[in-house]
Amino acid sequence: MSRRGNCWDNSPMERFFRSLKNEWMPVVGYVSFSEAAHAITDYIVGYYSALRPHEYALRPHEYNGGLPPNE
Local confidence pLDDT in tens for the 71 residues of the chain: 567 767 677 777 787 888 888 877 888 888 999 999 998 888 887 776 666 655 556 555 565 565 666 65
pLDDT of residue 33: 94
pLDDT of residue 22: 84
At residue 40, what is the residue type?
I
Contact 59, 53 (CB under 8 A): yes
Task: Please report, for residues 5, 40, 47, the alpha-carbon distance to residue 26 in angstroms, rounded to integers and kept in the order given.
Answer: 35, 11, 16
At residue 68, what is the residue type?
P
Write down the pTM of the prediction.
Answer: 0.51
Contact 66, 60 (CB under 8 A): no
Contact 68, 61 (CB under 8 A): yes
